[in-house]
Amino acid sequence: MKTIRQKLIIPIIALALASVTACKDGNKNEPAAPMSNEMHQEKPNHDDNDGHHDGAGMDTAMNGHGNAQAILNDYFNLKNALVGDDNGKAKGLGAALATSLGNFDASHYTDAQQSELKDIVEDAVEHAEHISESDIAHQREHFKVLSKDVIDMVAITGTEMKLYEQFCPMYDGGTAWLSTKEEVRNPYYGSKMLTCGKVQREIN
């Protein structure tokens, strides 16, 4: 009797485990998003980070504003990936942005600013995380709200960079984003309508 039990218990456990993992796999089995790994842009990461701004970035880092700068850098990289219709790259950059948002240190701001920043960061992290695991249409939906968060963050933290708030009236009833360049490169439409939009505000 005992040996039968022992013989049975192993396959039972094995099967039970198999059914658990099979189930979990089934959950995560989203249809693989078509990934375009072609490089549409020559240097997507470089566009917004030209030498002139590096100095400014370092200054802000020394003033203790480095984290806001890190967030902005990741935001612009992500924006450029979306401009380039690069779903795979945007996933990785969404994850990077979620990390830099998580590392944000608001301790040297006033209490009111801190609670506002905490709220902004919490919201933005969620959108960045979604971007790290979505197809490009979803990434763009989340980028819209993320952009609002980042614009609101900059209103508090300020930045030494020269920024352009741009606006596309066509996407989802009108949508804004930030860019370091004056010329419009639309992250919501990418190659479909690359230059749709206008500068609606200059920062610095």
Partner 1 sequence: MKIVKIIAIVLLVTFVGIQFIPTTRNQSDSVPSTDFMLVNNVPKNIQNKLQISCYDCHSNNTQYPWYNKVQPVAWFLEDHIKEGKAELNFNEWNSLSTRRKTSKLRSIIKQIENGEMPLDSYTFIHRDARFSEAEAEEIINWVTQLKDSL
Binding site for partner 1 (CB under 8 A): 8, 11-12, 15-16, 19-20, 23-24, 26-27, 119-120, 122-123, 126-127, 141, 145, 149
Q: Which CB atom, from 19 or from 204, has the smaller least distance to partner 1?
A: 19
Provide, rounded to whole angstroms, the least separation between the CB of residue 131 and partner 1. Answer: 13
Cβ 112 to partner 1 shortest distance, Å:
13
CB of 120 to partner 1, least distance (A): 7
CA–chain centroid gap for 126, Å, is 9
3-state secondary structure of 163: strand
Q: How far is CA 27 from CA 16, 20, 21, 131, in A?
A: 17, 11, 10, 19
Give the number of other CB atoms < 10 A from CB of residue 114.
Answer: 14
Q: Which is nearer to partner 1, 20 or 58 (CB)?
A: 20
Element (H, E) at 176: strand 175-179
CB nearer partner 1, residue 126 or residue 160? 126
How many other C-beta atoms are found inside a 10 Å radius of the C-beta of residue 10? 9
Q: How far is the CB of 106 from partner 1 (least distance, A)?
A: 15
Measured between alpha carbons, how far is 72 from 93 in angstroms, rounded to an integer? 12
Residue (142 or 185) nearer to partner 1, CB: 142
Hey, which bits of 64-114 come out as E strands? none
| Residue 85 to residue 179: CA distance in whole angstroms | 17
CB of 13 to partner 1, least distance (A): 8
Minimum CB separation from partner 1 for residue 20, in Å? 6
| Closer residue to partner 1 (CB): 120 or 161 | 120
User: 3-state class of 14 per DSSP?
Assistant: helix
121-157 b/e with 16+ CB inside 10 Å = b? Answer: bebbbbbbbbbbebbbeebbbbbbebbbbbbbbbebb
**Closest CB to partner 1 among residues 148, 181:** 148
